[in-house]
Amino acid sequence: MAAPQTRVRTRLRKNDLVVVVSGKDAGKQGKVLKVIPEKNRVIVQGVGFIRRHTRPNPQRNIKGGIAEREAPIHASNVMIVCGECGKRTRIGAKLLADGKKARICRHCEGVLDK
């Protein structure tokens, strides 16, 4: 039996601007289209394309060829880009005056949640 997976929650959210920091797409920026917390993965617009070679299957109305779409990449391979200072940053947390928690930039302490 597999060991229980430690739940490492990504702090990324949909519509965050992120930059890829490792892998073949390193340096690319894109918006987070989807977060998959249970796998700790994110789908980033324009990043991590996979090519699926599909065979034609007339019964299921599938055309053959190569389909490209974004594949989920691991959340540890991307970093959020701060809207305030423009740097890639780790995400900190801060309690706001109104009692809400906000994610902040570790460089400039700018609030990342709009």
Given a contact cutoff of 8 angstroms between Cβ atoms, the answer to whether 42 and 12 are in contact is: yes
Best CA proximity match to 44, nearest among 80, 11, 90? 80
Choices 46-54, 58-66, 74-82, 92-100 (CB under 5 A): range interacting with Zn ion: 74-82
Position 82 contacts Zn ion (CB under 5 A):
yes
Size of the site for Zn ion (CB under 5 A): 7
Closest distance between Zn ion and the C-beta of residue 39, in Å? 28
The torsion angles phi and psi of 38, rounded to 5 degrees, stand at -70, -20
Closest distance between Zn ion and the C-beta of residue 106, in Å? 8
Applying the rule CB under 5 A, the residues between 87 and 106 that interact with Zn ion are 105
Distance CA 36, CA 52 (A): 21
Position 107 contacts Zn ion (CB under 5 A):
yes
> Which CB atom, from 43 or from 104, has the smaller least distance to Zn ion?
104
Closest distance between Zn ion and the C-beta of residue 82, in Å? 3
Closest distance between Zn ion and the C-beta of residue 50, in Å? 32
The torsion angles phi and psi of 105, rounded to 5 degrees, stand at -80, 135
Given a contact cutoff of 8 angstroms between Cβ atoms, the answer to whether 41 and 72 are in contact is: yes
